Chains A and B, each alone.
Chain A
């Protein structure tokens, strides 16, 4: 094995993003499965049940955790897509900024919906 003489890839941002994408994936998968099992065992019936479900503190926190995971996960994923297909620097930067704004918007919206 060749020992690298100098580090050419900054602070291993790639590895960090890769790992974050996988951890957030597991968080979202667990939330989805728990919600699916919950809906299959006791389906919320009508507005009262539906509203009550999202009034529990744990449901709000779990959903927020899901939303944060989604934002982080989608940032890594969409950035990968943009980096692969968009070759023009200005356009790529623009799309990345739009992606961040959209994801930040989703997060703010989620908080607004959960804590109303």
Chain B
């Protein structure tokens, strides 16, 4: 390292403004952490919830009717929308990771574009689903 660079004043700590506005996770980073978040949500509680719904709806005619009514409640629809987002995001991001593993689109620009596409496509799918059930 040159002495000029060594002597240049450096920030000793990060300003709040830097943390809030200047240092940002790149788009692929968002896709990655949301892949984790959606995966964790799917593991628990979403799988347990859907298994319960499958169990009840298959058990008997009355159970089916109960699930049918239950799924019409706004708060339950909200839960379904969360599930669809988590599934769609995990699905799309997963396909992207599989392609990256096969060395497809690993340059910076296409990787950023595909990350943006994952976010947008999964949100659009979720919006379409929300529109259909409401």
Interface, chain A (partner B; CB < 8 A)? 22, 25-26, 29, 32, 46-47, 50-51, 54, 70, 74, 77-78, 81, 99, 102, 106, 109-110, 112-113, 116
Are B58 and A113 in contact (CB-based, < 8 A)? yes
Enumerate the 6 nearest inter-chain pairs by beta-carbon distance, A residue then B residue, closest first: A47-B64, A74-B43, A113-B55, A77-B39, A47-B61, A25-B94
Beyond known contacts A106-B51, A112-B55, A113-B58: 19 more, CB 8 A cutoff: A22-B98, A22-B101, A25-B94, A25-B98, A29-B94, A32-B87, A46-B64, A47-B57, A54-B58, A70-B47, A78-B39, A78-B43, A81-B40, A102-B44, A106-B48, A109-B55, A110-B51, A113-B51, A113-B55
Q: How far apart are A34's CB and chain B's nearest CB, in angstroms?
A: 14
Classify chain B's interface size: 20 to 34
B101–chain A nearest beta-carbon distance, Å: 7
A67 → chain B closest CB, angstroms: 9
Asked if A116 and B59 make an inter-chain contact with CB atoms under 8 angstroms apart, the answer reads: yes
Contacts of B95 in A (CB 8 A): 29
A29 interface neighbour in B42, B55, B61, B91, Cβ under 8 Å: B91
CB neighbours (8 Å) of A81 from chain B are 36, 39-40
Determine the residue in chain B with the shortest Cβ distance to A63.
Answer: B54
Task: Show the binding face of B for A, using Cβ within 8 Å.
Answer: 36, 39-40, 42-44, 47-48, 51, 54-55, 57-59, 61, 64-65, 87, 91, 94-95, 98, 101
A106-B36 contact in complex given A29-B91, A29-B94, A51-B58, C-beta closer than 8 Å: no
Query: A46: which B residues are within 8 A, CB to CB?
Result: 64
A106 vs B42: C-alpha distance when bound (angstroms): 12
Our pick among A22, A26, A74, A109 for the contact of B51 (Cβ within 8 Å) is A109
**How many angstroms from the CA of A83 to the CA of B48 in the assembled complex?**
23
Complex CA gap A52/B44 in Å reads: 29
By a CB distance below 8 angstroms, the chain A residues around B65 are: 47
Bound complex: CA of A25 vs CA of B57, how far in Å? Answer: 27
Closest to B47 in A: A106
Once the chains are docked, how many angstroms separate the CA of A116 from the CA of B56?
12
